[in-house]
Amino acid sequence: MTESKVWRWGIMAPGTIARGFAAALRGLKRARFQAVASRSLVRAEAFAAEFGAEKAYGSYEEILADPTVDVVYISTQNPHHAELIRMALEADKHVLCEKPFTLNHTMAAELAELAQSRELFLMEAMWTRFHPVTRTVVEWIEEGKIGEVVHLIADFGFHGSVDLSSRVIDLSSGGGALLDVGVYCVSYASMLFGKQPRAVTSLTDQMPSGVDLTNSLVFDYGEGRQARLSSSVIHRLPNAAVIVGRRGIIEVPNFGHPHGATLRLFGQNQFDLSKVTEQIEHEDLVNGFEYEILEVMNCLDQGLTESPLLPMRETVAILETMDKLRADWGLRYPGE
Ligand SMILES: NC(=O)c1ccc[n+]([C@@H]2O[C@H](COP(=O)([O-])OP(=O)(O)OC[C@H]3O[C@@H](n4cnc5c(N)ncnc54)[C@H](OP(=O)(O)O)[C@@H]3O)[C@@H](O)[C@H]2O)c1
């Protein structure tokens, strides 16, 4: 395959986040917005007209039967990811699916196996991972600039009301802070420590349904290396990542969708962090979703079935860590 191939994308479920994704698709020369499918044809047609998709379908089955669609982006609510990923793979489509990839790790592992057996591309749309600021932060760490990572503080939360009809609060919609925003923190920790914690402990504020509104997690990686992660769907948090190495510290404001990062090396006096050693600032080409789309297309160009930046085994492992936390909390979703 040549680098100039245009990949024809389909969007399954034109909801809130699909709008950002479609805007990014439109901004990329090598991506064509081929089709959109909704449970409602009227919704699909309105979305197609707004974002310039060539076709609109009133069912998910129809888009998957369209041979002109190469790769689908699945942006339904959480409980429907697994079934739609399976349907898409069985229809021979490459798949990018929103976070959290599935409700639990068993579902993700089965789908990873299915994708492998059908030689199809599969990836979680954890857009933070592919963002240029995140890539630079990882490069700084790989180059040994701050030495071994020994501590991470990361959080993600937004002010919200306890609205039982909201998908982030409703149990049957796969609600909860961990699945909605905590997954960013857990994935970031996985990326920085390069493995899952050997022990986890946590405190949560839960609804009678079990859904977690706010949580704080402590991950232990051995030898005193730890991550402290918090997420909330009712309280705004700093939403920053602070990465502490043996020789310095990296701060990433708004780490989920970053616009810059700062590196400070410990001087002779490790308590004096007044001197910035390196700093980057970044402006998105479109809105930040373009980087995960580019990653998918680069992988497809190379005939890869997974991204080296977020292989399926890591998505499965991250979900397994989240499953352990939920087991501690007694939080189970219908259909698990
Ligand atoms: N990457 C990010 O920054 C980000 C941000 C927010 C959300 N997300 C993720 O994206 C996904 C969608 O979130 P969203 O906020 O866009 O959700 P949303 O607007 O509430 O719903 C998305 C779509 O899900 C579809 N859907 C299919 N079956 C459904 C059912 N039984 N009940 C309700 N909806 C159903 C609907 O599409 P049709 O009926 O039109 O087919 C709906 O438009 C979630 O997994 C979420 O975690 C990611």
How many Å apart are CA 97 and CA 287, to the nearest integer?
Answer: 18
pLDDT digits (tens, 9 = 90+) for 122-138: 999 999 999 999 999 99
pLDDT at position 88: 98
User: What are 110-169's pLDDT values in tens digits?
Assistant: 999 999 999 999 999 999 999 999 999 999 999 999 999 999 999 999 999 999 999 999
Ligand 1 centroid to 60 CA: how many Å?
A: 14
List alpha helices for 27-167, DSSP H: 41-51, 60-64, 81-90, 105-117, 132-142
Is the pLDDT at 226 greater than 90? The verdict is: yes
pLDDT (average), residues 179-197: 98
- Judged against a pLDDT cut of 80, whether residue 4 lies above it is answered with no
Q: What are the domain boundaries of the chain?
A: 7-128+289-296, 132-281
Question: Is 76 a pocket residue for ligand 1 (Cβ < 6 Å)?
Answer: yes
Q: Whose CA is nearest to atom 7 of ligand 1?
A: 17
CATH architecture observed for domain 7-128+289-296: 3-Layer(aba) Sandwich (3.40)
**Nearest of 87, 85, 54 to residue 69 by alpha carbon:** 54
Q: Whose CA is nearest to atom 33 of ligand 1?
A: 77
Q: Which atom of ligand 1 is nearest to the CA of 257?
A: 3
Are 239 and 254 a contacting pair, CB within 8 Å?
A: yes
Query: Taking 80 as the threshold, does the pLDDT of residue 3 lie above it?
Result: no
Q: Pick the residue whose CA is nearest to atom 24 on ligand 1.
A: 76
Position 268 scores a pLDDT of 85
- Residue 79: DSSP 8-state: G
Once rounded to an integer, what is the mean pLDDT over residues 32-36? 98
Cβ of residue 16 lying under 6 Å from some atom of ligand 1: yes
Mean pLDDT score across all residues of the chain: 97
Nearest atom, ligand 1, residue 19 CA: 16
What confidence tens digit (pLDDT) does each residue in 41-92 have? 999 999 999 999 999 999 999 999 999 999 999 999 999 999 999 999 999 9
pLDDT on residue 209: 97
Averaged pLDDT for residues 94-101: 98
Is the CB of 80 inside a 6 Å radius of any atom of ligand 1? Answer: yes
Average pLDDT over residues 306-329: 98
Q: What is the pLDDT of residues 243-287, one digit of tens each?
A: 999 999 999 999 999 999 999 999 888 888 888 999 999 999 999
3-state secondary structure of 83: helix
Tell me how far apart the 2 most distant CA atoms of the chain are, in Å: 65
Point out which residues pair with 252 in neighbouring strands.
Answer: 241
Assigned fold of 132-281: Dihydrodipicolinate Reductase; domain 2 (3.30.360)
CA of 149 to the centre of ligand 1 (A): 35
Over range 100-108, report the average pLDDT: 98
pLDDT at 2 over 60: no
Determine whether 150 is exposed, middle or buried from the number of CB atoms within 10 Å of its CB (0-12, 13-18, 19+): middle
